[in-house]
Amino acid sequence: DAKTTQPPSMDCAEGRAANLPCNHSTISGNEYVYWYRQIHSQGPQYIIHGLKNNETNEMASLIITEDRKSSTLILPHATLRDTAVYYCIVRVEGVGSGTYKYIFGTGTRLKVLA
Amino acid sequence: DSGVTQTPKHLITATGQRVTLRCSPRSGDLSVYWYQQSLDQGLQFLIQYYNGEERAKGNILERFSAQQFPDLHSELNLSSLELGDSALYFCASSAQGISYGYTFGSGTRLTVV
């Protein structure tokens, strides 16, 4: 399975952009990159995903390098409510239809400062 | 409300006992996944079911088992409980296809005393 590497923690000033990096150097051609976040002990929340093109939605932007070995999640205007653990995950398709699994790493603990 | 329902929200039980955690997936989702999160730890993948069949297995102990029923709800059975089994147990569901993300439930907090 492809693995991801993220910095353990980051701080960001409220209102500024938060840029969270992720390395996935062993990613294969059909593996998507997903980002989730977990606030306190709540269930992880889906943020965004991409294969090779940059993606944007109402929550964030995802920038994937051309070689797909790394990506950056951008929260354009971080708020205190964005304080959470952010997980970068590569989803792997297994054998047989509908066989997938996420392997969560330790994530990046983002603290947004007032 | 994410659409994935987990019950109960909290469970306190004694060592050696057996418990069942229940998960109802989001409407239309065929896949169900179970994860364990111990205190201040990451999420450990336990097992996946797709339309009633086991499809992927992670770090699931032999004392643990799961199944998915014809109505697509899933149960995770934990037996011979130990103190170290105290954790948050999350269920997630997804639609078919590699480009679909997971929707997580709010979890069951299990405390073994």
pLDDT digits (tens, 9 = 90+) for A31-43: 889 999 999 889 9
- pLDDT score at B20: 98
Mind telling me how many Å the CA of B73 is from chain A's nearest CA? Answer: 16
With a pLDDT cut of 90, the percent of chain A lying above it is 68
Measured distance CA(B25)–CA(B30) in Å, rounded? 8
What residues form DSSP beta bridges with A75? Answer: A18
Question: Tokens at residue A3, please?
Answer: 């693995």
Q: A-B interface: how many C-beta pairs under 8 angstroms?
A: 73
Q: Which residues contact B92 (CB under 8 A, 6 or more apart)?
A: A43, A44, B4, B32, B33, B35, B102, B103, B104, B105
Q: What is the pLDDT of residue A31?
A: 81
Question: In the predicted model, is pLDDT for residue A28 greater than 70?
Answer: yes
Contact between A23 and A4 (Cβ < 8 Å): yes
What residues contact residue B53 under an 8 Å CB cut-off, 6+ apart? B68
The whole-number pLDDT of residue A100 equals 64
Q: How far off is chain B from A68, nearest CA to CA, in Å?
A: 16
Residue of B102, B108, B109, B111 to mutate for A, most A C-beta atoms under 10 A: B102
Q: Which two tokens stand for residue B2?
A: 């994410």
Q: Which of A14-23, A70-79, B40-49 has the lowest mean pLDDT?
A: B40-49
pLDDT score at A104: 83
pLDDT tens column, B37-95: 998 778 888 999 989 999 888 889 999 999 999 999 999 999 999 999 999 999 999 88
What residue type is A95 in one-letter code? V
Residue A103 scores a pLDDT above 90: no
| Chain A residues lying within 8 Å of B58, measured CB to CB | 101
Query: Which amino acid type is present at position A87?
Result: Y
CB B46 within 8 A of CB B36: yes
Confidence of residue A92 (pLDDT cuts 50, 70, 90): low
Question: A99: pLDDT confidence band, cut at 50, 70 and 90?
Answer: low
DSSP A52: S
- Classify residue B51 by its DSSP letter: T
Cα–Cα distance for residue pair B50/B35, rounded to 1 Å: 15
Q: What residue has token string 């400062």?
A: A113
Q: For residue B50, which residues of chain A lie inside 8 Å, CB to CB?
A: 97-99
pLDDT band at residue A53 under the 50/70/90 scheme: confident
One-letter amino acid at A59 equals M
* Among the listed residues B14, B47, B15, B8, the one whose alpha carbon sits nearest the alpha carbon of residue B31: B47
Q: Which residues of A touch B99 (CB under 8 A)?
A: 32, 49, 51
pLDDT for residue B98 is more than 60: no
The answer, yes or no, to whether residue A1 has pLDDT greater than 70, is: no
